[in-house]
Amino acid sequence: MKNSLRFITLSKYPPYRSGHAKQALWNNTALAVLTGAEQHQVTYCGASPDPEDDAGQGVVVHHVREVPGNRRVPDGHLLRAVGAELYRACLENDIDVINTYYIDPHAALANRVADAVALLRRRPIVIHSIEGSDVLESVCEHLVDGSAGVLFGDVMRADVLCTVSHYTAQRFLAGAEAVGGARLADTLAESIVLRYPGLPPVAYAQPSQEELREFRQRSGLRQDSVIISTLGRLEEEKGLDTLLAIADLAAACRPEFEFVIAGTGSLGDVLTERAATMPNLTVLRNVSSHDAQCLRATSEVGVFPTRVIPGFIETFCVAALEYEALGVPVLASSIGGVPEATPDDRFLVAPHTAPAEWLARIEDVLANRAERSAVAAAFAGKFTSARSAQRLIDLANLAADRFNRSVPLKADPVDDYLATWPARRQLFAEPVQM
């Protein structure tokens, strides 16, 4: 094919409104630098005046336009509208590759648009990425009712099938076996390739000491406190009640600790009310990307007590990786794909660990802070957006050059792309979903 590839990525939200949309933007920005070509992103959750939604140089974000619905076929209106915008953008910008985040309904849409484009010119390469809770909510929790079955047909039509982690691939293949037996699972297993998320250069940039002092002052944090923080969605699956319990215990024995919970979500009001009763807890809502970076940089430890709930399990943990990029060690629940976002066992905590043990683990990290920091930074340094984007370019070119485009790209047995985790033992049994 070529190196000056033009990608278009289908993602649900505008940039910086969700983890996978951020990753799409990071990849597209890196692709623009690597290829020298303009990259594109289609989103269908509306335009926003938020300046942080600006994609920046080299990337164009296309918002789905208003189109008249069909009153006799109302359920397909959104899919048609998204497909129309994707189709228009592909033709007008001579797109080489359609890249999806999530398979439901993105895979079917991308396949449909690629086929329609092929009627007028060369068919774009299609790369499907299986990300986030998609593997659970769309597939694994819909095996009994049969609605997951058709998704396997959608993904098998891709030129390239990627997963965000080895854990995601394993769960997806288990679903395939439940639907179609070992034959379907084996067929898919030959085609799946790994593509980890990659952080942009700005994620590795340390704020100045003056910026950190100003951030602490503006956020109501003491200048000399030891900050223990978490940053992400303020939702049930993040296990924030565990962090509250840790802070409550620390209030009596570690007065130098200040705990910070930052992010956006449905639990924001409840957490804010709780923080009003706890002098060592601060809740920061709707933080800017600058303040998020300052929070990470001024923290001594990042804590992620995430848990399994119906419809959700962490299939990686970009939030933890963002702390590690600044040399901040983390402690995270060893569930799903989270272990693949951490350097080694010392950064992981078994599911259902009591708050007192979490606090003891935090103290252990602090006692070995310099060494853990160095390990974290070295590990995160491998997960760059440039590396992730180059992976897309390499896979697209391999797919374009293969003899038979009627079947997905077969994984190279000697492919060693960031292959460090599979050799490690499974640390803890998979938690049972309640």
Residue 433: pLDDT band by 50, 70, 90 thresholds?
A: very low
Please give the average per-residue pLDDT across 109-121, as a whole number: 96
Q: What is the CA radius of gyration of the chain?
A: 22
Residue 70: pLDDT band by 50, 70, 90 thresholds?
A: confident
The two structure tokens encoding residue 91: 């033709």
Please give the average per-residue pLDDT across 279-287, as a whole number: 96
Burial class (CB in 10 A: 0-12, 13-18, 19+), 209: exposed
For residues 318 and 49, the model is more confident at 318
State the DSSP string of 135-204. Answer: IIIIIGGGSSSSTTHHHHHHHHTSSEEEESSHHHHHHHHHHHHHHHHHHHHHHHHHHEEE----B-GGGG
**What's phi and psi for 51, nearest 5 deg?**
-60, -25
So what's the pLDDT on residue 422? 41
* Nearest-angstrom CA–CA distance, 310 and 301: 28
Please give the average per-residue pLDDT across 334-340, as a whole number: 93
Percent of the chain, pLDDT > 90?
A: 58
Residue 130: pLDDT band by 50, 70, 90 thresholds?
A: confident
Residue 105: pLDDT band by 50, 70, 90 thresholds?
A: confident
pTM of the entire predicted model:
0.90
Residue 426: pLDDT band by 50, 70, 90 thresholds?
A: very low
**What's phi and psi for 245, nearest 5 deg?**
-65, -35
Whether 217 has a pLDDT exceeding 90, the answer reads yes
So what's the pLDDT on residue 412? 65
Please give the average per-residue pLDDT across 123-128, as a whole number: 94
So what's the pLDDT on residue 67? 74
Q: What SS3 class is residue 266?
A: coil
Q: Which residues pair with 41 in a beta bridge?
A: 9, 61
Give the pLDDT confidence of 344-357 residue by residue, as tens digits: 999 999 999 999 99
Sign for the pseudo-dihedral over CA of 403, 404, 405, 408: negative
So what's the pLDDT on residue 425? 39
Whether 313 has a pLDDT exceeding 70, the answer reads yes
Give the pLDDT confidence of 372-425 residue by residue, as tens digits: 999 999 999 999 999 999 999 999 998 888 766 666 676 665 566 665 444 333
Give the pLDDT confidence of 18-29 residue by residue, as tens digits: 667 778 888 899
So what's the pLDDT on residue 51? 58
Whether 227 has a pLDDT exceeding 80, the answer reads yes
So what's the pLDDT on residue 78? 78
So what's the pLDDT on residue 45? 63
* Nearest-angstrom CA–CA distance, 431 and 323: 25
Q: Calculate the average pLDDT of the chain.
A: 87
Q: How many CB atoms lie within 10 A of CB 286?
A: 10
So what's the pLDDT on residue 145? 87
Residue 76: pLDDT band by 50, 70, 90 thresholds?
A: confident
